[in-house]
Amino acid sequence: MKPALVKSWIEVPADCHFPIQNLPLGTFFNPREGKMGPCVRIGDHVLDLQILFEKGLISLDSNLLFDQWEFIFEGGRAAIRSVREQASDLLREDNSTLRDDASLRDAALHRVDDVEMLVPVPIGAFVDFYSSEHHATNVGKMFRPQGEPLLPNWKHLPVGYNGRASSVIVSGEEVIRPCGQTKSPQAEKPSFGPTKELDFELEVGFFLADSTDLGEARPIGKAMDMIAGVVLVNDWSARDIQRWEYQPLGPFLAKSFATSISPWIVTLDALDPWRTTSPAQTPEPLPYLRDSQRSHYDIQLEVAIQTAAMTSPQTICRTNYKEMYWSMAQQLAHQMVNGTNVQIGDLYASGTISGSNPASFGSMLELAWKGERPILLKETGETRAFVEDRDTVIMTGWCQGEGYRVGFGEVRAAILPSVGGAG
């Protein structure tokens, strides 16, 4: 059921990602006041929830603190839903409480350009999956041209690995080109230096708002209730470093140098109108992975690139999150099935999201097909096989409603030259 087109007393254009139907969760820092805290976004403004809590306009259970989302998440999705609903009520066009109180409005409402957005919640663990059938098939065709594109386990479980939470950064932070070992097929031994094959990976991630004890394995039917919401993810990859290091244990230095995320957690409640059925899965998964919920989402996604010589970015990929083979619920259920303890603030990324046609591929590896088909940047005539220094990559995503959008904003990062490493 689609939500009623509620309006706010704050003017929000129809193509803005942050109408009152969204109100995503974030953490901001106000340099003028030297304070940080939880907020929601409405149009071009952030709403300081801590001030509203102190004024008694937003309430929570007495055992919950209200200075960080980490603590609010202890109340689970019910607490998140309560905060969002109370904020929505204050922002409705027919509610004068905040609208007509100039002093409180000035204290609680800030233009987003006047504050700094931070990683929205402390990240205890980061897991990256490999859940797009189109992407996995493309990679298999490139590197195993004589064999089956998908490895034997791929359609039986959501393949993933534990990444490095400490290098997850927020949109706008620059990324330094990483160094590492690489080895060309012609070389007798490896060499050390900056990656020559820096790549982006278009992904969607989800944050947890619940924890489990060691040894506890919750069923898939409980998985979606544990998810706070969704962010955009660019899980950077150094393809040449990865090619040399990944056997037999998988990615290491090629992935741990940076993962960029958007600053806004879009709640599952906001995304609910765009829930959709999962694609058919053959063979049928084992019972613990059978997902009877509609836990896929119709999220339109785009990637653009802008070089230092360009005046505006060029879109090079358009795809959709509903293309994913494995759902969020299946990914989380698989993570928990062995009894590992998951925690509030854990971040899980989907893996590269690619569609069925070349314009929908979610990485440079696929778009330029191992560098064999460089992308033409029309404004300047430059070409790109991989991401070069001073390039900026911008990802965005949204769900389209009738007269409004619920979106994620963007995750962007510019690439700085390598500083040389310790090699």
Q: What is the largest CA-CA distance in the chain?
A: 73
Catalytic residue list contains 135: yes
Q: Which of 211, 220, 271, 219 is nearest to 81 (CA)?
A: 271
Asked if 367 and 358 count as a contact pair (C-beta separation under 8 A), the reply is yes
Q: How far apart are CA 343 and CA 31, in angstroms?
A: 30
Give the pLDDT of residue 423. Answer: 56
Quote the radius of gyration of the chain (alpha carbons, Å).
22
**Pairing of the two strands 392-400 and 168-170:** unpaired
Q: How far apart are CA 60 and CA 53, in angstroms?
A: 8
For residue 295, the SS3 value is coil
Backbone angles phi and psi of 98, in degrees to 5: -90, -35
* CB-based contacts of 10, cutoff 8 Å, min separation 6: 20, 42, 43, 45, 91
CB-based burial label for 149 (10 Å; 0-12, 13-18, 19+): middle
The one-character DSSP state at 380 is T
Asked if 2 and 21 count as a contact pair (C-beta separation under 8 A), the reply is no
Asked if 144 and 78 count as a contact pair (C-beta separation under 8 A), the reply is no
**Pairing of the two strands 179-182 and 191-194:** antiparallel
Cα 295 → chain centroid = 16
For residue 72, the SS3 value is helix
Asked if 256 and 167 count as a contact pair (C-beta separation under 8 A), the reply is yes
Q: Which of 209, 187, 216, 182 is nearest to 421 (CA)?
A: 182
Write out the two tokens for 4. 């009623």
For residue 254, the SS3 value is helix
For residue 333, the SS3 value is helix
* CB-based contacts of 286, cutoff 8 Å, min separation 6: 156
Q: Which of 37, 39, 2, 48 is nearest to 21 (CA)?
A: 2
* CB-based contacts of 212, cutoff 8 Å, min separation 6: 218, 336, 341, 342
- pTM for this predicted structure: 0.96
Give the pLDDT of residue 4. Answer: 56
Q: Which of 267, 283, 260 is nearest to 415 (CA)?
A: 260
pLDDT digits (tens), the chain, 423 positions: 454 589 999 999 999 999 999 999 999 999 988 989 999 999 999 999 999 999 999 988 755 556 788 888 988 999 999 999 999 999 999 999 999 999 999 999 999 999 999 999 999 999 999 999 999 999 999 989 989 999 999 999 999 999 999 999 999 999 999 999 999 989 999 999 999 999 999 999 999 999 999 999 999 999 999 999 999 999 999 999 999 999 899 999 999 999 999 999 999 999 999 999 888 999 999 999 999 888 899 999 999 999 999 999 999 999 999 989 999 999 999 999 999 999 999 999 999 999 999 999 999 999 999 999 999 999 999 999 999 999 999 999 999 999 999 999 999 999 999 997 665
- List the catalytic residue out of 45, 110, 135, 334: 135
Give the pLDDT of residue 295. Answer: 87
Task: Reply yes or no: is the peptide bond before residue 152 cis, omega within 30 of 0.
Answer: no
Task: Reply yes or no: is the peptide bond before residue 13 cis, omega within 30 of 0.
Answer: no
Write out the two tokens for 357. 């046609």
Q: Which of 131, 177, 182 is nearest to 291 (CA)?
A: 131
Asked if 296 and 322 count as a contact pair (C-beta separation under 8 A), the reply is yes
